[in-house]
Amino acid sequence: MRIILFGSPGVGKGTQAKILSEKQNIPHISTGDILRQAVKDKTELGLKAAEIMNKGELVPDDIVIGIIKEVLKSEKCKNGFILDGFPRTVVQAIALDKMFDELNIKDAILVHITADENEIIKRLSLRRACRVCGAIFSLNEIQGLTQCPKCNAENSFYLREDDKEEVIRKRLKVYQTNTMPVLDYYLSKGRAISVNGIGTIEEVNENLLKLLNEKITVNQIS
């Protein structure tokens, strides 16, 4: 399976990516993570990205695409991948498709996870982060805990600025304006499915896999 995971902040992409990665034995490729890794490894593109990031500027699409391409060409992606965090604009989607053509990848499907705005705001406002390691948890996960489950830091949980309601609403507006057109781009090419993100994690995953397998079957027949 070659999946582009898509959806607004707080819709559950990270959770579903982890489950899909384990079930399908394919890597979860977070563009933020691979960008940081390329910088850490001091690859040619990583060094270019680091120079730009150190100036406080956004890394250009061509460098991000180049780093993604390096990962997708690697042995670990030979049986598929889950791409998370890219593309975020139609321009990026077009550039990604060009890269897919160069790698002879014809079967990538965008999986759009949906949830209504009120549910997203509720989910995000109930998240807490660790000041020490940066790990993020729901309040249910850390109820009664004083130590971070990841790094054991004491009394380190806090509400991030990004997870405050006013900021969440602004983030969702930016998503609707700048990122949602990506869905129309993939729908126009017959390469997208939408999955309801409301329900238990297991229910959402089961429905996601069912719709994904149906889409793959239809594409193979056509």
Which pLDDT does position 32 carry in this prediction? 80
**Greater pLDDT, 24 or 54:** 24
Tell the CATH superfamily of the 2-203 domain: P-loop containing nucleotide triphosphate hydrolases (3.40.50.300)
What does the mean pLDDT of the chain come to? 91
Which pLDDT does position 205 carry in this prediction? 95
pLDDT tens sequence across 140-183: 999 999 999 999 999 999 999 889 999 999 989 989 998 999 99
- pLDDT score of 15 more than 80: yes
What DSSP line would sit under 144-198, residue for residue? T--B-TTT--BT-EE--GGGSHHHHHHHHHHIIIIITHHHHHHHHTT-EEEEE--
Active site residue 42: no
Which pLDDT does position 221 carry in this prediction? 65
Give the amino acid at 106: K
Catalytic residue chosen out of the listed positions 36, 69, 88, 122? 88
Which pLDDT does position 185 carry in this prediction? 96
The pair of structure tokens assigned to 150 is: 């990841």
Cα Dmax for the chain: 56
Model-level pTM?
Answer: 0.84
Catalytic residue chosen out of the listed positions 18, 164, 171, 191? 171
Catalytic residue chosen out of the listed positions 69, 122, 127, 150? 127
Catalytic residue chosen out of the listed positions 18, 36, 150, 160? 160
pLDDT tens sequence across 33-80: 888 888 888 888 888 888 888 887 778 888 888 888 988 999 999 999
CA distance 103 to 152: 43
Catalytic residue chosen out of the listed positions 13, 48, 123, 215? 13
Active site residue 191: no
Which pLDDT does position 222 carry in this prediction? 61
What DSSP line would sit under 3-70, residue for residue? EEEE--TTSSHHHHHHHHHHHHT--EEEHHHHHHHHHHHT-HHHHHHHHHHHTTPPPPHHHHHHHHHH
- Is residue 182 a contact partner of residue 90, using CB atoms and an 8 Å limit? yes
- pLDDT score of 197 more than 90: yes
Q: Span 25-32, mean pLDDT?
A: 89
Which pLDDT does position 112 carry in this prediction? 96
pLDDT tens sequence across 108-150: 999 999 999 999 999 899 999 999 998 889 999 999 999 999 9
- Is residue 109 a contact partner of residue 191, using CB atoms and an 8 Å limit? yes
- pLDDT score of 81 more than 70: yes
Active site residue 127: yes
Give the amino acid at 145: L
Sketch the domain layout of the chain as residue ranges: 2-203
